[in-house]
Each structure stands twice: as C-alpha cells, then as structure tokens.
C-alpha cells in the first residue's frame, strides 16, 4: 500500500506565495505614490496663489489628508476652519453646508478632495 498523499502544500510554497503577495502589494504602493507625485506636479504647475481655497473642519481626517497632499506637493492653497473663523463659517453656510473639505477651485465649489478633479478644473479654466 502506498503512503497517504499530503494535501497540505509544503512550507516553501507558502513562503513563495507570501513573497509574491508582498511584491504585488509593494508594486501597487509604488504606483500610487508615483501617480500622486505626478498629480502633485500638475497641480503645482497649474495652481496660482488664490486659485484653491479649502474650507476645513478641525476634526476632519479628509481635510488633513488634502492639506498634507497639497503641502507635500507644494500646491499653493489657502485654508480656513469653520470652528474658529466666523467669516469662514458664514461662507461655508452660504455654500449649503454639505461637508468638509469644501474646496473652492477658481471660485467653483468641490465637495471633498480629489487631486484629479482639482487638476481638471484648473486645466479647464487656465487662460480664462
């Protein structure tokens, strides 16, 4: 009688699979970072002081992410906080209080931060 066949893959197979998964994850992270840097360069090239205003909330994680992205990529923007700036809070209320961050890109409101949407808006209004 022959010995029973093991249905459990050997440890080397598991190690290989884990290495493959880590490589794929690392490549995905590299690609996201590369894309963010490319978008950041485009935004920095298109944006002028006063083009991007961000209405923020002090406890908003999405505001923090947008601020970090634009600061890291050297995109000029201004920011106000609805909790500490009365004029900012009034402006926010006038826009309909839909959430933060509320970006005003060359005067046009955009709820939430998307580097692609900001880039597209700046590109569409360049030279106008």
Nearest of 78, 80, 121 to residue 100 by alpha carbon = 80
Higher model confidence: residue 111 or residue 35?
Answer: 111
- Rounded to 5°, the CA angle 65-46-84 comes to 40
- The pLDDT value recorded for residue 13 is 74
| Residue 100 belongs to a domain | yes
Ranges 4-18, 34-48, 74-88, 99-113: which has the least confidence: 4-18
DSSP 12-71: HHHHHHHHHHHHHHHHHHHHHHHHHHHHHHHHHHH--TTSEEEEE-TT-HHHHHHHHHHH
Q: Residue 80 sits in which domain range?
A: 13-125
| Residue 33 belongs to a domain | yes
Ramachandran class of 60: left when φ > 0, alpha when ψ lies in -120 to 50, beta otherwise: beta
Task: For residue 117, give the CATH number of its domain.
Answer: 3.40.30.10
> What is the C-alpha to C-alpha distance for residues 30 and 22, in angstroms, rounded to an integer?
12
> What is the C-alpha to C-alpha distance for residues 49 and 13, in angstroms, rounded to an integer?
55
Instruction: Indicate the SS3 state at residue 125.
Output: helix
Interacting residues of 62 by C-beta distance below 8 A, sequence separation 6+? 100, 101, 112, 113
pLDDT tens figures, 58-93:
999 999 999 999 999 999 999 999 999 999 999 999
Model confidence at 1, pLDDT cuts 50, 70, 90, reads low
The count of structural domains within the chain is 1
| Residue 5 belongs to a domain | no
């Amino acid at each position: 009688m022959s010995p029973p066949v093991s249905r459990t893959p050997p440890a080397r197979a598991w190690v290989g699979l884990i290495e493959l998964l880590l490589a794929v994850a690392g490549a995905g992270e590299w690609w996201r970072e590369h894309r963010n840097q490319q978008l950041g360069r485009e935004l920095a090239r298109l944006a002028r002081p006063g083009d991007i205003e961000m209405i923020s909330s002090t406890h908003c994680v999405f505001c923090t992410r947008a601020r970090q992205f634009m600061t890291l990529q050297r995109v000029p923007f201004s920011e106000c906080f609805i909790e500490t700036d009365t004029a900012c809070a009034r402006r926010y209320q006038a826009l309909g209080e839909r959430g933060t961050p509320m970006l005003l890109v060359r005067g046009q409101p955009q709820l939430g931060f998307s580097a692609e949407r900001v880039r597209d808006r700046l590109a569409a209004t360049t030279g106008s």
